[in-house]
Structure 1
Amino acid sequence: MEKRVVIKEKKAGLTISDVILVGVLLATGAVLKFFVGSMFNAGMKPNFVIAMYCLAILIIKPKLSEAIIIGIIAGAICQVLPGTPYINLISEPLGTLVMSILISLPLKFKPYSLLKPILGTFLSTLASGLAFLGVLYIAFYAGANVETIPFSAFIVMILLTAVVNAVIVQILYIPVKLALGRGKDD
């Protein structure tokens, strides 16, 4: 008898089920951003689209280029929601880039693998939020004769959104992954 060898093929790109999952999660984030975000009137609103693309990236583990495309799509979705135009087209790809890099780190110790969803989402939300804030200040407030919203108000909103997004993803990660039959972590 010959020894059987199982060869696992490398993934060539996103599968149809991956694309559908990303679409459903981004749509969920858009609905949350629209309805929950409409309760805030502080110049900046929490962005739950970030939580959903972080969850998608954690589950499907896309290549870096695919993650950036997810970020561009997330930024485009944010354009149809109330908010400041165009800035999300910069901030969301940056958030997906951070998440993709963080999940690809070859750290194998147990605390990191258990906390990867919460840490990755928190840091991705911070990166996206700070990029949004930076572009906002450069594009709209630098040299303009307008009354700016205090920087501290934005920072508080970014930190609160990062915490909420991180908790949402940490809670949803394992049930969604198991429901999709994605098995154990790598």
Structure 2
Amino acid sequence: MAEQSKREVNVKAAAGGKAPAAQGGARQRTVQGADARKKGFDVSALILVAVLLAAGAVLKMTVGSFVNFFGMKPNFIIAMYCLAILLVRPNMVQAGIIGLLAGAVCQLLPGSPYINFVSEFLGALCMAALIRVPMKVGRANLQTIVATFLSTVVSGGMFTVCLFVFLGASASSLVAYVPIVLCTALINCVIVQALYIPLAKVLKKEPAKQVAAA
């Protein structure tokens, strides 16, 4: 009897020790699965990207037609996909897809056909890479401004190169694009910085923490 009671106690102890561990493992897998879904490029992220690109197209056709700063105009398509990448935080493949979608949207607007597929693809990849680089100087976080500026320069610069390579643009006209690209990049910085923080708060993206952790 004593030996049988001892065996029963050992079995219960072993079962009692394994159950919490199994439950803890299940909880850990559940949390990890939830984190993976949260970080994934889900339907809500796709909808957000689509809405922002559509808004960029509308703004370029309306506001962009009369907003003019000393001959320089904002490029709302670039600004909107930079904003989308900041909010969604995609990987490089997903960012490339966003760039191609932006290039497709550009085909619906006046301009040089097909070149935007190359320029916006590279601009989106640049943006996705730069949001992973910490850019804090003291308490100031320059990531949004620097990433948007450089991504716009990459996109505009590649567009200019494509004009020369594929459409045979003259060297003099290419030189004229340099100040246009730089001023457009500055204007895009202002637009994205102004929209990012309020949109991130509305969408509960916690901009300060996300940028610092990128």
TM range (shorter): 0.7 to 0.9
Find the counterpart in structure 2 of residue 165 from structure 1: 188
The question of whether the paired residues in 1 share the 8 Å contact of 2:136 and 2:143 is answered with no
Q: So what's the TM-score if we normalise by structure 2?
A: 0.74
Look up the match of 2:47: 20
The 1-side partners of 2:140 and 2:47 are apart by 26
Q: Using the alignment, how far apart are the partners of 1:112 and 1:133 within structure 2? A: 36
**Residue of structure 2 in register with 1:71 after alignment:** 99
Contact 1:91 1:128 (8 Å CA) reproduced: yes
2:121 matched to 1:98?
Answer: no
Describe the shift of the 1:112–1:56 C-alpha distance in structure 2 as closer, same or farther (beyond 3 A): farther
- CA 1:131–1:112 in 2, change beyond 3 Å: closer, same or farther? farther
Give deviations 1:61-114, integer Å, cap 9, x for gaps.
Answer: 001100000000000000000011000010001000000000122x37455972
- Give the whole-Å Cα distance in 2 for the aligned partners of 1:72 and 1:121: 17
TM-score, length-normalised on structure 1? 0.84
SS of alignment partner, residue 204 of structure 2? coil
Structure-1 separation of matches of 2:156 and 2:87: 22
Cα shift at 1:16: 1.3
Query: Residue in 2 aligned with 1:10?
Result: 36
Structure of larger gyration radius: 2
Give how far 1:118 is off: 0.7
CA distance in 1, matches of 2:104, 2:88: 21
More helix by share: 2
Structure 1 counterpart of 2:175: 152
Q: CA deviation at 1:153?
A: 2.1
Which amino acid in 2 is paired with 1:74?
A
Cα separation, partners in 2 of 1:111 and 1:176, compared to 1, 3 Å: farther
* Aligned residue type for 1:64: M
How far off its partner does 1:150 sit? 2.2
The residue that corresponds to 2:84 in the other structure is 56
Kindly indicate whether the alpha-carbon contact (under 8 Å) linking 1:46 and 1:157 is maintained by their aligned counterparts in 2. no
Percent of counterpart pairs with the same letter?
47
**How many residue pairs align between the two structures?**
177
8 A Cα contact 2:119 2:156, kept in partner: yes
